[in-house]
Chains A and B, each alone.
Chain A
Amino acid sequence: MTHQIIMAGFGGQGVMSMGKILVEAGLKEGKNVSWLPSYGPEMRGGTANCSVIISEEPVGAPTVTEATAAIVMNRPSLDKFEKDVIPGGDLLINSSLIDKKATRDDINVYYVPANEIANDMGSGKIANMVMLGAYLKITGAAKEDTIMEYIAEVFSGKKASVVPLNKEALKRGADCIK
């Protein structure tokens, strides 16, 4: 199985970090991975995105033009990337910030109120981990334990207190997927 994911949102929503965390976990599980950020001149309030690949096979093109999944954190990202999901693929929409519905009916669409859940947990910044939790529940692209192992490595010492918060965010995201 090759997971080809587009993660998109506006600057500060943590889409680049979400991608990095996923590929770090993929690597820990012995998969082949790549992470390619967009670095173009993006409009303020527009989209930043990264292309992430996790595969049993060697990674070919690092670009994702036929996405098995797209995670969109804001409205411009939905408008830009809905068309890039392959039929039967997954589209995860941050319904806290996107009031529009998906237009396609040949893909699986999931609405996750990521910002509401994150705010409810007391940290709006963690909406990306809520979305990641939902994505992992749907696809199993990496194990939650591996993600947490990496998170614990990054946030050690004084910062270790945020580790349980991340774990909770992953769980709350996963709970959105029935």
Chain B
Amino acid sequence: MAKELWKGNEAIAEAAIKAGCKYFFGYPITPQNEIPEYMALKLPQEGGCFLQAESEVAAINMVYGAAGAGARVMTSSSSPGISLKQEGISYIAGAELPCVIVNIVRGGPGLGSIQPAQSDYFQATKGGGHGDYRMIVLAPASVQEAVDLVQEAFDIADQYRNPVMVMGDGMIGQMMEPVEFVEIPKRQLPEKDWATTGLRGRKEHNVINSLYIEASQCDKHNEDLFAKYAKMEETEIRCEEYNLEGAEIVFAAYGTVARIVKNAIKSLEKEGIKAGLIRPITLWPFPKANFLKAADMPNVKAFLSVEMSMGQMVEDVELSVKGKKPVYFYGKAGGAIPTPKAIVEEAKKILGGAK
């Protein structure tokens, strides 16, 4: 298939349908509205169901129900709406159900702004809802990558019986780029023999629940969950390493910011400064080993995390680097976007000080 121009949000919706998503429950919010709009038009044509719920809280609980019945289901929202969904996400993680949640992040806190931001990193990666749980968080940097990752997100969710979040910023949702829908690598997926689809000849009902009233049972449940999360950490980490060889400074950036950083790296190169980039594609599990390896490279003098937030991922970079090299931060918040020029200046300031 030839490349076609797609708007990010619409491409994400089409990718979900291509991945076999049959149910979408959501509530409108800028800048992700083209996702439900596209689903409302297309899902009924695919024999699926689109439903605009009365609220985000209702939408995520509809996702909970459909996931419990073994359906491929998705919801999408933007920051304030995702906050409302946190209780449901915790229940879904506790009940070990697969689903895909798309967050097209906008400026915060509160209602914030409608422009692109990355300030939901903590919420997504550290457990925005209550209790000890984790979910895989995928962060695409282009519309093409969004399309690939959304399709794979459904498989990852099914493989681990766990919610998966795809987190893009407003730019990913709103921009148009060439896209080619290609088949994603096939995974061996387990049967959904736990789904609540009726007895089907079984003697015992399947029960979907996140309540373990006995402390010892709830403790065991947490142990089991964390054995699963450990497996995710072992096998699902993804990141892009760019230009690390000989780099004096290594940037950490994800999503569209990583592309702005790449422009800055080219500008620095013209001035004779070698800079590299580590771009986490999974924000959780975080590519700690890649950062630690870079920290051990003698040419690397410092790390600079660039984010559309006041500094969130930078904490994971610091933890990964283990104090071996200094870690700095530069960011813009509330919908403002860092410019390549400002990033170049920040890098030069740091390297000047490190000499």
The answer to whether the Cβ of B228 comes within 8 Å of any Cβ in the partner chain is no
The answer to whether the Cβ of B170 comes within 8 Å of any Cβ in the partner chain is yes
Cβ contacts under 8 Å, A63 to chain B: 171, 260, 337, 339
Cβ contacts under 8 Å, B222 to chain A: none
**1/0 per position for A118-147, CB-CB distance to B under 8 A?**
000000000000000000000000000000
**1/0 per position for A15-28, CB-CB distance to B under 8 A?**
00000100110010
Contact with A61, one of B113, B115, B262 (Cβ below 8 angstroms): B262
Separation of A62 and B175 alpha carbons in the complex (Å) = 8
Separation of A146 and B236 alpha carbons in the complex (Å) = 43
Cβ contacts under 8 Å, B4 to chain A: 27
Question: Contacts A39-B30, A41-B114, A65-B340 hold; do A33 and B259 have CB atoms under 8 A apart?
Answer: no
A35–B175 CB distance below 8 A: yes
The answer to whether the Cβ of B70 comes within 8 Å of any Cβ in the partner chain is no
Closest chain A residue, CB of each to CB of B257: A61
Separation of A33 and B335 alpha carbons in the complex (Å) = 23
Question: Contacts A33-B5, A60-B259 hold; do A39 and B178 have CB atoms under 8 A apart?
Answer: no
Cβ contacts under 8 Å, B174 to chain A: 36-37, 39
Q: Contact size class for A?
A: 20 to 34
Q: Contact size class for B?
A: 20 to 34
B178–A36 CB distance below 8 A: no
Separation of A33 and B5 alpha carbons in the complex (Å) = 9
B177–A33 CB distance below 8 A: yes
Q: How far is the CB of A43 from chain B (nearest CB, A)?
A: 15
Separation of A63 and B171 alpha carbons in the complex (Å) = 9
The answer to whether the Cβ of B256 comes within 8 Å of any Cβ in the partner chain is yes
Separation of A33 and B176 alpha carbons in the complex (Å) = 9
B262–A65 CB distance below 8 A: no
The answer to whether the Cβ of B320 comes within 8 Å of any Cβ in the partner chain is no
A20–B176 CB distance below 8 A: yes
Q: How far is the CB of A85 from chain B (nearest CB, A)?
A: 15
The answer to whether the Cβ of A34 comes within 8 Å of any Cβ in the partner chain is yes
B residues whose Cβ falls under 8 Å from a Cβ of A = 3-5, 30-31, 113-115, 170-171, 174-178, 256, 259-260, 262-263, 266, 335, 337, 339-341
A residues whose Cβ falls under 8 Å from a Cβ of B = 20, 23-24, 27, 32-37, 39-41, 59-63, 65-66
Inter-chain pairs besides A60-B260, A62-B177, 7 sampled, C-beta below 8 Å: A27-B5, A35-B176, A39-B114, A60-B263, A62-B256, A62-B259, A63-B337
**What are 5 residue pairs bridging A and B, where the CB atoms are less than 8 Å apart in the complex?**
A20-B176, A27-B3, A39-B31, A59-B177, A63-B260
